[in-house]
Amino acid sequence: MSPATARAYSADVVSLLDHLARMGGVEPADLNLVVLRSWLARLRSTGAARSSLARRSAAARSFTGWAHRTGLLESDPGARLAVARPERHLPSVLRQDQAAALLDVPIGGVVDGAVDDPAERAVALRNRAMLELLYATGVRVSELTGLDLPDVDRSRRVLRVLGKGAKERTVPYGLPADRALEQWLSNGRPRLLTDGSGMAMFLGRRGRRIDPRAVRSVVHHATALIPGAPELSPHGLRHSAATHLLEGGADLRTVQELLGHASLATTQIYTHVSAERLVAVYRQAHPRA
């Protein structure tokens, strides 16, 4: 599990045990199916989304399974816990023309900053390189910010990415992204470089490895400049890249490998996005739709 997932699961288990105490339970052995269902019902009554309930159910099942294996519970009540599948919302994505417009925004303005100041121009070149790489590769924001200089092979135009579960994969990128990287590495990064920069590919204004929140801010401001574009996060650029790959003829297995999905089922949501687009275009264009 990622650190964030581990923290979320721990908080869920604390919430479950607190609910057990409220129901008069004093020992782990008091945890049963009635308590589990009551806990989920209380969470549902407070407005928790189905996706949150599904995650909390998974945390509870993991905990009761462990408690049973270690002898704290005589049986595993979580094994009998039926949970509704989380709703799968179609992600907001850019159209291909909007993605092109996003990456053609001139240096300067909200995204890139004033170009008269050398430090601001360095930030502008960094932002452009990050936007190009996010869309070109579909990497997660944590994967982008975790890149080190040796992870980028510009001779082959590929990234070495460390994804979820410490799984390493190689992701290609195109010539426009390479040109943006060249500008950043030659004319941008040296301006922000400090003794604390280390080997980090992308740096913040103080010379440290850039924070994911800063990348989210860059993407948010960039998409705000594109007329009609949805409000996107870096994950939205990942969704857009995957959708456009499929629209361009890429097969699902290839997209799964590029995105670093453990399961093909995760990648399949993008086929629904493309189908939605297909239906929308058909209804708009066909005279008897």
- 244 a catalytic residue: no
Catalytic one of 121, 189, 238, 239:
238
| 235 included as an active-site residue | yes
CA distance 175 to 183: 12
128 is catalytic: no
Active-site position among 261, 272, 282, 288? 261
Reply yes or no on whether 220 is catalytic. no
Compute CA distances 3 → 229, 274, 289, whole Å.
33, 33, 49
70-85 burial by CB neighbour count: b if 16+ within 10 A, else e? eeebeebbbeebebee
List the catalytic residue out of 121, 140, 239, 244: 140
Nearest CA to 253 among 239, 244, 241, 242?
Answer: 242
Identified catalytic residue from 37, 68, 164, 277: 164
Residue 202 contacts residue 130 (beta carbons within 8 Å): yes
- Kindly give, in sequence order, each residue whose CB lies less than 8 Å from that of residue 160, ignoring residues fewer than 6 positions away: 150, 151, 152, 153, 168, 169, 170
Active site residue 164: yes
> Which residues does the annotation mark as catalytic?
140, 164, 235, 238, 261, 270
